[in-house]
């Protein structure tokens, strides 16, 4: 998760043109933009604060704001919970917004244990509900969402090898 500055044009109902206009802009902006996903910004998780705004027309505003976003990009390290163990790998849920698949071919030290429904390496088990760090190795933006593939983060792998 990171924070970025976004500028957006928005409509504000005339009934909100009062002394609390910045609060109304913040609330309306949060309603329309949170959970939106774009190739440019990724998933918008929250509006953090309004930097500036100006009136373009009567009820049309240009708003500049800070937003918390989740944009999966190759090389990024992301933490998430294992939500599924399958023969093809591990599916990780990141911030309840993004799923990332770690293919079994990227789990070089681990073997699937069907009895325990876990990937196992020695005493280390990765199972549903575990928090793991992964590195994104490939993303593709399709139909207003990202498809992601990854591998276990290097610091996770090094910690189990020692």
In a 3-state reduction of DSSP, which class is residue 111? strand
Q: What is the pLDDT of residues 10-65, one digit of tens each?
A: 999 999 999 999 999 999 999 999 999 999 999 999 999 999 999 988 899 999 99
Q: Which contacts of 34-42 are long-range, i.e. CB under 8 A and separated by 24 or more positions?
A: 35/97, 37/97, 37/144, 37/145, 37/146, 38/144, 39/141, 41/4, 41/6, 41/67, 41/69, 41/71, 42/69, 42/70, 42/71, 42/72, 42/146
> What per-residue confidence (pLDDT) applies to 65?
98
For residue 131, the surrounding DSSP H or E stretch is: strand 131-142
d(CA 132, CA 2) in angstroms, rounded, equals: 19
> What per-residue confidence (pLDDT) applies to 57?
87
> What per-residue confidence (pLDDT) applies to 1?
76
Spell out the domains of the chain, with CATH numbers in brackets.
Answer: 2-70 (3.30.1490.120), 77-161 (2.40.50.140)
d(CA 44, CA 111) in angstroms, rounded, equals: 36
Q: What percent of the chain has pLDDT over 70?
A: 95
> What per-residue confidence (pLDDT) applies to 156?
62
Model confidence at 162: pLDDT above 50: no
Q: What is the pLDDT of residues 111-138, one digit of tens each?
A: 999 999 999 999 999 999 999 999 999 9
d(CA 23, CA 29) in angstroms, rounded, equals: 10
Average pLDDT value over all residues in the chain: 93
């Amino acid at each position: 998760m990171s924070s970025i500055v976004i500028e957006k044009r928005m409509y504000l109902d005339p009934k909100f043109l009062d002394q609390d206009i910045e609060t109304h802009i913040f609330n309306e902006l949060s309603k329309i933009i949170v959970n939106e996903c774009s190739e440019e910004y990724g998933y918008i998780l929250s509006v953090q604060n309004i930097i500036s705004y100006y009136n373009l027309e009567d009820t049309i505003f240009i708003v500049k704001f800070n937003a918390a976003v989740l944009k999966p990009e190759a090389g990024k390290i992301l933490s998430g919970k294992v939500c599924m163990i399958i023969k093809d790998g591990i599916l990780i849920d990141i911030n309840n917004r993004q799923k990332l698949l770690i293919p079994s071919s990227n789990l070089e030290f681990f073997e699937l244990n069907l009895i325990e429904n876990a990937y196992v390496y020695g005493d280390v088990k990765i199972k549903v509900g575990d928090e793991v760090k992964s590195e994104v190795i490939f993303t593709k933006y399709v139909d207003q969402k990202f498809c992601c593939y990854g591998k276990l983060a290097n610091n996770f792998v090094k910690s189990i090898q020692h």
